[in-house]
Amino acid sequence: MSVEDNNPLKQLEGRLASGDFHVGIYGLGYVGLPLALRFTEAGVKVTGFDIDQNKVDQLNSGKSYIKRISGGDITAALNNGFYATTDFSKSTEVDAQIICVPTPLDQHHQPDLSFVTNTVDSILPYFRAGQILSLESTTWPGTTEELLHPRLKKQGFTAGKNCALIYSPEREDPGNPNYTTATIPKVLGGMTPNCLKLGKALYAHAINTLVPVSDTRVAEMTKLLENIHRAVNIGLVNEMKIVADKMGINIHEVIEAAATKPFGFVPYTPGPGLGGHCIPIDPFYLTWKAKEFGINTRFIELAGEVNHQMPEWVVNKVSEALNLRKKSINGSRILVLGLAYKKNIDDTRESPAVEIMAQLQNKGALIEYSDPYVPTFPNKRDYHFDLSSVALTPERLRSYDCIVLATDHDDFDYFQLQEHSLTIVDTRNRLDGENVVKA
């Protein structure tokens, strides 16, 4: 037997090339679960790891807790060898470990990488030579090199020699029917050229198009640029909306007209604020890291400030709408339509609708909500509402002093809504009429 035959990375390369390998997905949420199902669909054995026993039990019984993933999808994966567990000791059984856990901000708007570091620290006692570790969670440039690799080296593992370490940012877009996990091009960078080679061999089984870059820091910065681009442009169009409103100009008509230009303009739509796990959070990962280099990212922070103020703008519009009927927010019955951060999904992370509810309640409003995708108000760190989604009937609609359309799900009956509501504050440009106030 040659020395090369004993090389753990050569052995890993052989398993990846043959397709006879085992993947572990850590974090079975909106990113990890679709990725796990995709690898399973491609014929790869997958074990899903999560610290939430309830999620694990649901998956192992063939049930889904994500609206766009059916129980049938889970059952098909189980039949192909997938199973979920909270037992991290089983990490030693897998060849590839892919981390898809949250990277939120703490209460001081500083990056909170505790989910990542806790996951890595839970894996390390069972890590072995010849495994590949991939981080998909959004983070600041340098995380893989500065936080993950030193942890591996402390246990005797060096990327490119006896293990592989890569960064490959997730690019999920929940609710977008045009792109799937398989068809969204995947950026990846390795700690070494050999790491990148192994990372490409891993993801090639599940992803149609790979976009290799020179190192992990480039891959980390790429994800931040993608989301900062959106955050800044949404901040711009939200500020334009405020200016246009003061001038009595319909900003949506302006955007439609500008979008007819066949070059140099990309239309962005204003709304009640930013939502989801990426766009409201990711820019602050870069602003935090940039300070280490003595740079103040004023442009990015200004966009964040504008977007952060949009729920307050909506609440002011509610106040104006009620004032026209000689009412105040205090004591008014207000229904918020749509709790998810975007239409036709059940994801409420960072949803501006929740902040709108909180601000209205703080001003004395009696709040209810309706969302066909969110039957009960979810557990959140900063918000607590003991509420369930209400059914919409003509009688119920007429009972509210004001209705706020925060998320324009296609499931809503907009004809009924317009016909029977006293006042509607529309943050999504979905309605027109005398009882509609645009916000």
- Give the residue carrying structure tokens 């043959």: 18
Nearest CA among 322, 425, 307 for reference residue 364? 322
Give the Cβ contact number of residue 79 at 10 Å.
10
CB 253 within 8 A of CB 239: no
CB 342 within 8 A of CB 275: yes
Grouping H, G, I as helix, E, B as strand and the rest as coil, residue 45 is strand
| Straight-line distance from the first to the last Cα atom of the chain, in angstroms, rounded to the nearest whole number | 72
Nearest CA among 436, 427, 431, 280 for reference residue 356? 427
Grouping H, G, I as helix, E, B as strand and the rest as coil, residue 131 is coil
Buried b (16+ CB within 10 A) or exposed e, 232-252: bebbbbbbbbeebbeeeeebe
- Pick the catalytic residue: 100, 163, 278, 402? 278
Active site residue 100: no
Alpha carbon distance 310, 1 (integer Å):
66
Among the residues of 205-351, which ranges form H helices?
Answer: 216-247, 251-258, 282-291, 298-308, 310-323
CB 196 within 8 A of CB 168: no
Task: With both helix axes pointing from N to C terminus, report the angle between 193-203 and 8-18 in degrees, rounded to the nearest 10.
Answer: 30
- Structure-block tokens of residue 355: 């902040």
Grouping H, G, I as helix, E, B as strand and the rest as coil, residue 84 is strand
Alpha carbon distance 109, 284 (integer Å):
7
- Structure-block tokens of residue 50: 């999560």
Buried b (16+ CB within 10 A) or exposed e, 25-55: bbbbbbbbbbbbbbbbbbebbbbbbbbeeeb
- Give the residue carrying structure tokens 């090199």: 145
Q: Catalytic residue numbers?
A: 278
